[in-house]
Amino acid sequence: MDSIISVRNVTYEYKEEETVYAAVKDLSLEIERGSFTVILGHNGSGKSTLAKMLNGLNKPTSGDVLVDGINTKEESTEVEVKRKVGMVFQNPDNQIIASIVEEDVAFGPENLGLDPAEIRRRVDDALKAVDMYDFRESTPHRLSGGQKQRIAIAGIMAMEPECLVLDEPTAMLDPKGRAEIISTLHRLNSEKGITVVLITHYMEEAENADRVIVMNDGKIIADDVPKVIFSDVKTLKSVGLDVPQTAELLYRLKENGFSVDTHALSVKEAAAEIIKALRSEE
Amino acid sequence: MTVLEVKNLTHTYSGNTPFINDAVSRVSFSAEKGEIIGIIGHTGSGKSTLVQHLNGLLKPTEGEVFVDGENIWDNPKEIRKIRSKVGLVFQYPEYQLFEETVYADIAFGPKNMGLAGDELKKRVLDTCRLIGVKDEYLEKSPFDLSGGEKRRVAIAGVMAMKPEVIVFDEPTAGLDPAGRESVMKIIHDYRQAVGATVIIISHSMEDMALLADKLLVMNKGSLEMFDTVENVFLNGDRLREIGLNVPIVTRVFYELKAAGIPVPDNVFTVSRAVEVLKGIKAGERGA
Amino acid sequence: MLKDITFGQYYESRSLIHRTDPRLKMVLLIALIVFIFLAKNTFSMALAVLFVLSVMAVSKVPVKLYLKNMKAILPVLIFTGIINLFYGEGETLISFWKLEITTGGIYRAVFMMVRITLLIFLSSALTYTTTPNDLTDAIESLLSPLRFVGLKSAVHTLAMMMTIALRFIPTLIEEAEKIMNAQKARGADLENGSLRERVKALIPILIPLLISSVRRAYELAEAMECRCYNGGEGRTRMKQMHIRPRDFAVLAVCAAVCGGIITLNILF
């Protein structure tokens, strides 16, 4: 596998009032270049701590994180790592630095010391990629939550990273904003080949991912394609995760003796399963 | 018994504010004692403006709000008294915590109402017992609690005023399932104990189907529908037109119906769906 | 109430004034204010008034917005006017108690009020036609000679702080309003009581606001780190400021006006 990020036996500890807690425990993980990975976990499962280690914002207490072969512990290549792995956070308000959209998107490339014409090109490309080009001269605080979060994504895209790590980017958005962000991420992944690592506790956002990793108590407890992960409703519920109504319905039908395949996720797939199960009775 | 009545409420924002205008026009509805009313509508439909009128934080440009039959603006000087009758829990209420201890923070509301001494203490402790804030937390700083616990304490701060109507603006936003469940439980427990009317703004049609008695649908500042959950969700096409939807399980049932399976239209929760399908299966086996 | 404060009041348009180099606009603003205060007779003042009105017209910013800014300083304006009424010579028109209003006083009061009005209009013309970021960049650029005395990073830091402040002021105003409403919903009384009680009533608002600002600052710092921010060293800018031919034209017009004011002062 061609990995963009390799996490090798990583443990992350933090200290609170003399007690040492481990947020991530001896975890190993490879992220394939060009893939779309979703990391699911409830609050406190260690998923955010892991996310911040993927671009060197957090340094592992033990073990190594390699980005394109570069160890994130290396101080001399810190900027290189952050340029390759961009990071988007939960609250869009706290990631936007400038009062004009395009000037904010320019902030990253400006820090890289690029030529003004090159910055301009990247800013325009990034804004078009998130479908916010028409808003380039607007003021961020007049935009909706979903639009602001797309600006934050554009700000990272303008650094032309290979990988985007997003730490619960939809947690503060309304359903419309959430849908905007998820479809933007899929477009960046399929059209630009950006590797996406999406951290969330909304399971339905993992629906079209290549791979879903479930974390609990600092460890990976499941790692597979969405359909396989979602059919195990019991485990997901036991680690405090949300289950989409379709998965829940099929799971409960199966418990009640229906011969349904619980892998189905979308409304259409779920309906097809139920129809099949009912017809097979005839 | 009607506890809350809104008549022809209109609110227009004056001036050139840089913020999104969230106006409301000619909204009328009433709430009965003990009812749970869900308010749905997309962002900017006027939901937040509407609920801020219910406890007199905003004054209507036109129209009236009645609590227990009295127009709340009859005596503007007494408007603060309304706030203990109609409690309002804002989005992310944990960001309003400020006291040194959990106890002091919960006591802030009742103290503002004029409670003191043993009466105040009893009120705070009763509220904590009712919604499960543990005794050992009372002397802790609210800022040392986890996210879910902070929210519980913040909600307790409003409940300690013992309002007869309590309004929540997306009470579960940003919480994980365990946190959401515990917030829903304290809302339920409070209503049971006090017999209060509950009004909840939510984006989750699934939660609304489980919880609410009636739904109030807002669209572009106007009241689109105000009816029982069943009657509102039977209007799936209209809901979609205004950017809303029916619960996911209902959408699955639309597909079943389209495929010719004889399912009813009023399936809005997973439990009901399982019952209905079990019935159909048994019927087919019998046939 | 808090919502009525607009900050960083940029008005989007593409007028000549909008497109003039922000550094030039700042320098010209200062120069013009000096000359407006130098105008001492009706003719030179009329020229100044005419000039400022043309600037306002050319800026394509609605007059309503200019007047809105006037409203805020109206008390100051009236106060200055009244004070000046009593300082002057000439024929006494009204006298009461120990005070006299003279023709000279009226003249002085009117002049002072016109000057302040022009000053407000002109500064508004700058803030309405220049984005806060351009203003910040202009200040950074104008202060850049300080780097020769070893203050380069200080200039960059100052400019960065201004950028962030401008960006976050509306956010924090909105947040303060939310917290105020939340505490009011808990029965807090912010409007009545003695001064001491009112100051005390601010605690439930200021503490949450402070805590949230610290949290925001922390998150913002992380986000900036993720965008490879490393201070001013090696940083380039997307928007380069260039002096263009039209800037020389603007400069020439302003110089002519300043010259005109002085000439009219001498002639009459």
Residues 6+ apart with CB under 8 A from A167: A47, A48, A51, A52, A87, A88, A89, A90, A199
pLDDT of residue B14: 64
Interface of A with C in 134-153 (CB under 8 A): 137, 139-141, 152
Say whether C3 and B57 touch across the interface (CB within 8 A): no
Say whether A245 and B249 touch across the interface (CB within 8 A): yes
- Say yes or no: A98 contacts chain C, CB-CB below 8 A: yes
Residues of chain A contacting B, Cβ within 8 Å: 42-44, 139, 141-142, 144-145, 171-172, 174-177, 201, 237, 240-242, 244-246, 248-249, 252-253, 256, 258, 267-268, 270-272, 274-275, 278, 281-282
Query: What CATH number should be reported for the domain holding residue A207?
Result: 3.40.50.300
pLDDT of residue B160: 96
Q: Which of C9, C128, C186 is the mutation pick for testing B, counting most B CBs within 10 A?
A: C186
The DSSP element (H or E) to which B281 belongs, if any, is helix B270-286
Give the range of the structural domain holding residue A34, as residue numbers without chain letter: 3-243
Determine the residue of chain B that is closest to A259 in CA distance.
B281
Q: Is the pLDDT of residue C8 over 60?
A: no
pLDDT of residue C200: 87
What single-letter DSSP state applies at residue B258? H
Around Cβ A94, how many Cβ atoms within 10 Å? 21
Residue A278 lies in a domain: no
Q: What is the pLDDT of residues A202-250, one digit of tens each?
A: 888 998 999 999 999 999 999 999 888 988 888 888 888 878 889 899 9
DSSP string, C34-46: HHHHH--SHHHHH
Q: What distance in Å separates residue A175's CA from the closest CA in chain C?
A: 22
Residue A269 lies in a domain: no
The beta-carbon neighbor of B96 closest among C6, C179, C203 is C179
Residue A221 lies in a domain: yes
- Say yes or no: B82 contacts chain C, CB-CB below 8 A: no
Quick one: pLDDT band at residue C4, thresholds 50, 70, 90? very low
- Say yes or no: A166 contacts chain C, CB-CB below 8 A: no
The DSSP element (H or E) to which B9 belongs, if any, is strand B2-11
ipTM: 0.90
Say whether A111 and C12 touch across the interface (CB within 8 A): no
Q: What is the pLDDT of residues A44-91, one digit of tens each?
A: 899 999 999 999 999 999 999 999 999 999 989 999 999 999 999 999
| Lowest-confidence pick of A24-28, C14-18, C135-139 | C135-139
Residue A254 lies in a domain: no
Say whether C216 and A94 touch across the interface (CB within 8 A): yes
Task: Give me the percent of chain C exceeding a pLDDT of 70.
Answer: 97
Look up tokens 């039209």; give the residue: C246
Residue A256 lies in a domain: no
Residue A271 lies in a domain: no
Within chain B, all domains assigned CATH 3.40.50.300 are found at 2-233
Q: What is the pLDDT of residues C35-89, one digit of tens each?
A: 999 988 889 999 999 999 999 999 999 888 888 888 888 888 999 888 888 877 7
Q: What is the pLDDT of residues C172-188, one digit of tens each?
A: 988 999 999 999 999 99
Collect all residues of chain C within an 8 Å Cβ-Cβ radius of residue B112.
186-189
pLDDT of residue B21: 58
pLDDT of residue C1: 39
- Say yes or no: B156 contacts chain C, CB-CB below 8 A: no
Average pLDDT over residues A110-115: 94
Say whether C4 and B158 touch across the interface (CB within 8 A): no
Collect all residues of chain B within an 8 Å Cβ-Cβ radius of residue A216.
none
Q: How many domains does chain A have?
A: 1
Quick one: pLDDT band at residue C189, thresholds 50, 70, 90? confident
Average pLDDT over residues C145-171: 83
Average pLDDT over residues B40-49: 90
Say whether C220 and A114 touch across the interface (CB within 8 A): no
Is B90 in contact with B96 (CB distance < 8 Å)?
Answer: yes
Residue A53 lies in a domain: yes
Quick one: pLDDT band at residue A15, thresholds 50, 70, 90? confident
The beta-carbon neighbor of C219 closest among A94, A111, A140 is A94
Around Cβ B150, how many Cβ atoms within 10 Å? 20
Of B221, C223, B111, residue with least CA distance to A88:
C223
Structure token digits, residue A33: 């270049």
**What's the CATH superfamily of B2-233?**
P-loop containing nucleotide triphosphate hydrolases (3.40.50.300)
Q: Quote the pTM value.
A: 0.85
Average pLDDT over residues A242-264: 88
The beta-carbon neighbor of C185 closest among B15, B57, B143 is B57
Residue A87 lies in a domain: yes
